[in-house]
A and B are shown apart, each in its own frame.
Chain A
Amino acid sequence: MNPILSLQHLKKYYSDQKAVDDISFDIKEGSIFGLLGPNGAGKTTLLRMITGIFYPDGGDIILDGQKFNPIDDIQKIGYMPEERGMYKKMKIGEQALYLAQLKGLSKSDATEKIKYWFKKFEMESWWNKKVEDLSKGMSQKLQFVVTVLHEPKLIILDEPFSGLDPVNANLIKDEIFNLAKKGSTIIFSTHRMEQVEEICDHIVLVNLGKKILDGTVAEVKQQFKENIFSIQTSEPFTVQDNSIFNIVKTENNKIHVKIQEGYQSNDVLSYLLKEKVNIIGYNELLPSLNEIFIQLVEGTHASTRAFHAEN
């Protein structure tokens, strides 16, 4: 299947740094894609280029098989920036209508769609209220609605769950899955790794303007696994480090072992069976994305870069 979005050697330089420095990746249609990276890594700059807010200094953006054209392709994209914004004094219904019309919907079409989403999210009574009367979570929901209202092929959500209570977060999460099922592609930018593991099919990690990781969640975990297995037994037992594995951690009935190079997981099992250990659980411990993230990003001074960003 053709990718819905393909970035090819994308570059954006500011006066004193390379915010995005030669990044390429593809996003499959209908997937949920996680764009990860520490603060100041260049995520927002990247997203702003994909949404047509910034022009790249180099490279190409291919959207839906064609070179991205910020003016004509606006309707194909829905963007929810990290910093949410609404006109505080404007009525909610009018505001949603205005933003939908700016995306190119006709007035009647927009009204119909707003009514549909307001009903779905139980927001019908909000129409004549003003944004300043809404709580943070409520305006977040409104923001999500105006982002997806025009049924874009590509939905870009920058930290969509921040400020939401668990109930509303679930509501949005379900809707993200729903939209993906219907064929929309979702780019999801965050540094909350547990959400990424739960939601995303494919991830890319950027740091200091460069792509440092690209793959499905399972692939990435495989790539960073350290061959550590957890063994659970019915009663406490003792083993020593040996040529097949090292012991990493010991709890009462549980040990974590790291398999030495040249051996397979079955070698551990047969060793333990010989030792007459009564095994009741045996599984591989894959690193969490959080651990991978920290491992890759730590020590790169990524966060200090945020202060210089966007000059």
Chain B
Amino acid sequence: MHKIWLIIQREYTTRVKNKRFILVTFLMPVLIIGFGFGFGYLSTTGTEHRKIAVIDPNGFIKTSLKNTNQIEFSFPLEVDTLNYNKKGFTDILIIPKFDGVKKTDYILRSKKSMGLMLQNSITDKINGAIEDKMLQESGIQQSTLDSIHKASQFAELKAYEDKGSSSKESNAGLAMGIGYASGFLIYITLFIYGSMVMRGVMEEKTNRIAEVIISSVKPFELMMGKIIGIGAVGLTQFIMWIVLILTLSSVAMGFLPADVQHQVASLQQSNGQMGAGMMQASDAAKNIYTFQHTIQTANWPLILSCFVFYFLGGYLFYSALFAAVGSVVNEDPQDAQSLMFPITMPIIFSYLITNMVTQNPNTPLAFWASIIPFSSPMVMMARIAYGVPSAVSYWELALSMSILIGGFLFTTWLSGKIYRTGILLYGKKVNWKTMIKWAFKKQ
């Protein structure tokens, strides 16, 4: 036991002291926060401004084409497709004569092509205008029309999940985000840390230090020491990221103008409901409050502890297999590629399933994929985000967890047998068939 501890220490310290580890650990949260803020900033201010000249022989569309902060519509005369650019317009929209029956093409010509979102919003506006026109022609008053338009924005869905007698606000958008993010994180880390284990084993083998060490410790101790040491590196990195993200976001909050901070605080006190607070609050404060409020609806202790469990479980499950591959590879990295294929395929498939499950957590596919240990670390995280026990019942969670534990015990045992033979074997090309034969060979 003492020796495996020495191995864990070495694997851990050599990696944590490594400059690249420190760089990635500190840069990643800065990048994430930076991207978040940068994206937010750009999406509100940095958008392009379009000046569109509209040629409309019908006349009734004009009222529907209202200016937004991105698009400015004008209805000039004497502008055509040849000269619109010279006259200071970015685009020209040509609306055909409307006959009320046929579907017709509306032509938009631009110097720089227009994004799909903008195009859709223009189409919607035109269609809305035509709809209004037709409704009016069938005898509906303009005032009636206006009140109908207002009514169509009355409803806002607020979902609650029932837990016995109490009910709690739930948020599908947040659940999807958490599920997707944690599934993605596990996906990435399985690859990063799994291949780190593999490269570590290959290094020991090609450096020929394996034999020196194996004369002091059992091969299984060397393999487990490496797996646990690197797993601890991964966990350290996660903890650092969480701490750094929390600190950085509170620092970022500190840079908000004082009145916004004050408004957010009063919104928090009043639970976001009070008219008095709401009336004075700016849009920014309301957004921040809503964001914070939404985040708080998730069951973070459960999600974080499940994340740690599934990260470790998935890591142990796959890294043992990566170690087995590393132990049979000789100097040729191409061998590693082809041997890794059967391990990377299930990881990639699981990731694809995770993407589906984040939108639909209760299909049979989601259930099975969250039980089978090859995919459960990612898929179960996507389901857990929707809530336990509302989306995932306790027995499902217990079953999935115990199968994952059983799974990594099995892969570790299997890989231990392969590793023992492989690590001292040089100059022979090994395939999975041989590896399986070693694994089930009587000692």
Stretch at the interface among B38-46, B213-221, B277-285, B364-372: B213-221
Smallest CB gap from A57: residue in B:
B443
Neighbour of A53 across the interface among B207, B214, B425, CB < 8 A = B214
Chain A residues numbered 39-76 whose CB sits less than 8 Å from any CB in chain B: 48, 51-53, 55, 71, 74
Complex: how many Å from CA A227 to CA B216? 48
Complex: how many Å from CA A85 to CA B204? 8
Smallest CB gap from B200: residue in A:
A87
Would A99 and B212 count as touching, CB distance under 8 A?
yes
Task: Give the shortest distance, in Å, between A107 (CB) and chain B (any CB).
Answer: 10
Q: Is A90 an interface residue (CB 8 A)?
A: yes
Complex: how many Å from CA A77 to CA B210? 16
Would B208 and A99 count as touching, CB distance under 8 A?
no
Complex: how many Å from CA A202 to CA B422? 34
Smallest CB gap from B222: residue in A:
A102
Smallest CB gap from A146: residue in B:
B212
A contact residues around B7 at 8 Å (CB) = 102
Q: Is B10 an interface residue (CB 8 A)?
A: yes
Q: Is A118 an interface residue (CB 8 A)?
A: no
Complex: how many Å from CA A84 to CA B213? 11
Q: Is B3 an interface residue (CB 8 A)?
A: yes
Complex: how many Å from CA A55 to CA B219? 13
B contact residues around A87 at 8 Å (CB) = 14, 203-204, 207, 209
Q: Is A125 an interface residue (CB 8 A)?
A: no
Neighbour of B208 across the interface among A51, A85, A90, A310, CB < 8 A = A85
A contact residues around B214 at 8 Å (CB) = 53
Q: Is A103 an interface residue (CB 8 A)?
A: yes
Q: Is A83 an interface residue (CB 8 A)?
A: yes
Task: Give the shortest distance, in Å, between B442 (CB) and chain A (any CB).
Answer: 11
Q: Report A94-120 CB contacts with B as 1/0, cut-off 8 Å.
A: 000011011100000000000000000
Q: Is B424 an interface residue (CB 8 A)?
A: yes
B contact residues around A48 at 8 Å (CB) = 424
Q: Is B6 an interface residue (CB 8 A)?
A: yes
Q: Is B211 an interface residue (CB 8 A)?
A: yes
Smallest CB gap from A102: residue in B:
B216
Would B10 and A53 count as touching, CB distance under 8 A?
no
Neighbour of B10 across the interface among A55, A71, A77, A98, CB < 8 A = A98
B contact residues around A143 at 8 Å (CB) = 212
Contacts A83-B211, A86-B209, A87-B209; is A99 near B428 (CB within 8 Å)?
no
Task: Give the shortest distance, in Å, between B150 (CB) and chain A (any CB).
Answer: 69
Would A85 and B216 count as touching, CB distance under 8 A?
no
Task: Give the shortest distance, in Å, between A218 (CB) and chain B (any CB).
Answer: 32
Q: Is A33 an interface residue (CB 8 A)?
A: no
Would B213 and A99 count as touching, CB distance under 8 A?
yes
Contacts A90-B14, A98-B6, A311-B428; is A84 near B208 (CB within 8 Å)?
yes
Chain B residues numbered 1-52 whose CB sits less than 8 Å from any CB in chain A: 3, 6-7, 10, 14
B contact residues around A101 at 8 Å (CB) = 6
Would A53 and B14 count as touching, CB distance under 8 A?
no
Task: Give the shortest distance, in Å, between A11 (CB) and chain B (any CB).
Answer: 15
Contacts A53-B424, A55-B443; is A102 near B14 (CB within 8 Å)?
no
A contact residues around B10 at 8 Å (CB) = 98
Q: Is A79 an interface residue (CB 8 A)?
A: yes
The dominant DSSP class at the B interface is: helix
Would A86 and B207 count as touching, CB distance under 8 A?
yes
Chain B residues numbered 141-200 whose CB sits less than 8 Å from any CB in chain A: none
A contact residues around B215 at 8 Å (CB) = 51-53, 74, 77, 79, 81
Smallest CB gap from A156: residue in B:
B215
Task: Give the shortest distance, in Å, between B289 (CB) and chain A (any CB).
Answer: 50
Complex: how many Å from CA A86 to CA B204? 8
Complex: how many Å from CA A7 to CA B363? 64
Smallest CB gap from A50: residue in B:
B215
Q: Is A136 an interface residue (CB 8 A)?
A: no
Would A85 and B3 count as touching, CB distance under 8 A?
no
Neighbour of B213 across the interface among A83, A90, A102, CB < 8 A = A102
A contact residues around B426 at 8 Å (CB) = 83
Q: Is A89 an interface residue (CB 8 A)?
A: yes
Q: Is A88 an interface residue (CB 8 A)?
A: yes
Contacts A79-B212, A99-B213; is A85 near B6 (CB within 8 Å)?
no
A contact residues around B14 at 8 Å (CB) = 87, 89-90
Task: Give the shortest distance, in Å, between A168 (CB) and chain B (any CB).
Answer: 20
A contact residues around B213 at 8 Å (CB) = 99, 102
B contact residues around A85 at 8 Å (CB) = 204, 207-212
Q: Report B410-441 CB contacts with A as 1/0, cut-off 8 Å.
A: 00000000000000111010000000000000
Neighbour of A310 across the interface among B3, B211, B425, CB < 8 A = B425
Complex: how many Å from CA A77 to CA B207? 22
A contact residues around B211 at 8 Å (CB) = 53, 79, 81, 83, 85
B contact residues around A53 at 8 Å (CB) = 211, 214-215, 424
Contacts A89-B14, A102-B3, A310-B425; is A74 near B216 (CB within 8 Å)?
yes
A contact residues around B207 at 8 Å (CB) = 85-88
Among A55, A74, A85, A98, the most chain B Cβ lie within 10 Å of the Cβ of A85
Complex: how many Å from CA A55 to CA B218? 12
Complex: how many Å from CA A125 to CA B428? 39
B contact residues around A311 at 8 Å (CB) = 428
A contact residues around B6 at 8 Å (CB) = 98, 101-102
Complex: how many Å from CA A57 to CA B10? 34
B contact residues around A310 at 8 Å (CB) = 424-425, 428
Task: Give the shortest distance, in Å, between A209 (CB) and chain B (any CB).
Answer: 18
Chain B residues numbered 201-259 whose CB sits less than 8 Å from any CB in chain A: 203-204, 207-218
Among B6, B7, B215, B217, the most chain A Cβ lie within 10 Å of the Cβ of B215
Complex: how many Å from CA A145 to CA B129? 89
Would A81 and B216 count as touching, CB distance under 8 A?
no
Smallest CB gap from A79: residue in B:
B215
Neighbour of A103 across the interface among B204, B209, B210, B216, CB < 8 A = B216
Task: Give the shortest distance, in Å, between B203 (CB) and chain A (any CB).
Answer: 8
Complex: how many Å from CA A36 to CA B200? 34
Task: Give the shortest distance, in Å, between B24 (CB) and chain A (any CB).
Answer: 17
B contact residues around A81 at 8 Å (CB) = 208, 211-212, 215
Task: Give the shortest distance, in Å, between B196 (CB) and chain A (any CB).
Answer: 14
Neighbour of A102 across the interface among B203, B217, B428, B443, CB < 8 A = B217
Please give 6 more A-B residue pairs, beta carbons under 8 A apart, in addition to A81-B215, A84-B208, A102-B213: A53-B215, A85-B208, A99-B212, A146-B212, A310-B424, A310-B425
**What is A's interface to B at a CB cutoff of 8 Å?**
48, 51-53, 55, 71, 74, 77, 79-81, 83-90, 98-99, 101-103, 143, 146, 310-311
A to B CB contacts below 8 Å, 8 in the list: A77-B215, A87-B207, A87-B209, A90-B14, A98-B10, A99-B216, A146-B212, A311-B428
Ranked 8 nearest A-B pairs via Cβ: A85-B208, A85-B209, A83-B208, A102-B216, A79-B215, A81-B211, A51-B215, A85-B207
